Amino acid sequence: MSPGILGKKIGMTQMFRPDGQAVPVTLLKTGPCMVVQRKTPTTDGYDAVQLGLLEFVKPQRINKPSTGHLKKAGVEGAKFLREFTLRPGDDDFKAGDQVLVEQFKPKDKVDVIGVSKGRGFAGVVKRHHFRGGEGSHGSMFHRAPGSIGASSYPSRVVPGMRMGGQMGNGRVTVRNLEVVEVDVEDNVLVVKGAVPGPNGGYVLVRRSKR
């Protein structure tokens, strides 16, 4: 049993259960993946497996160190590499082994990890859902953050204060998504609910930890 698999987000749609209930789902193109490196407590200090997503990639798109790393494992065309920690009950993989979507079954629970869409610089109303001030009567406080600290003590802005800044473009984990369907022929995993990132963005699908 594999601890997880790598893939790309295709997009969202809906499916209907036998009782007629409509379920929002996300389609993920997962695998085929190959084991690029097996990390052990003896050599690396921890137990993990490094997977590479096999896809069409021009050789010049992969730098020389990565090309040599892949060649050592006999893998070609893997630009997206990620590690999965091995837990008791997981298979003992070795470099060159394949990981396919058929290892997942409907009703399995998975965590999906991706990079959220970047929204650029955003103010406190959009970024932190501040209410803002009155929109009329000369308030001059429409979308401002309000007080960001006392003047006499501590006479500085406390770290962690919610303010305007970069929004999105960060690693997001969505936990305990249900696997609705597995398409072995097309390597497609159908999960219930939304997944972070844009269509075509890379994702990690791991077996749920909780």
Amino acid at 2: S
pLDDT of 78 reads: 87
**For the CA atoms of the chain, what is the radius of gyration?**
22
Q: Could you tell me where the DSSP H helices lie in 91-175?
A: 124-128
Q: What is the mean pLDDT of the chain?
A: 92
**Rounded Cα distance, 146 and 143, in Å:** 9
Domains and CATH numbers, the chain: 4-117+170-207 (2.40.30.10), 119-167 (no CATH)
pLDDT of 110 reads: 95
Q: Which helix (H) or strand (E) holds 45?
A: none
Which positions ≥6 away from 58 have C-beta within 8 Å? Answer: none
Q: Which tokens hold the place of 186?
A: 């097309």
Q: Which tokens hold the place of 57?
A: 């990639």
How much is the average pLDDT of 61-78?
87
Residue 82 confidence (pLDDT) above 90: yes
Q: How do residues 148-168 score in pLDDT, each as one tens digit? A: 999 999 999 999 999 999 999
For residue 74, name the pLDDT band (cuts at 50, 70, 90).
Answer: confident
pLDDT of 111 reads: 96
Query: Given the structure tokens 């695998």, which residue do they identify?
Result: 31
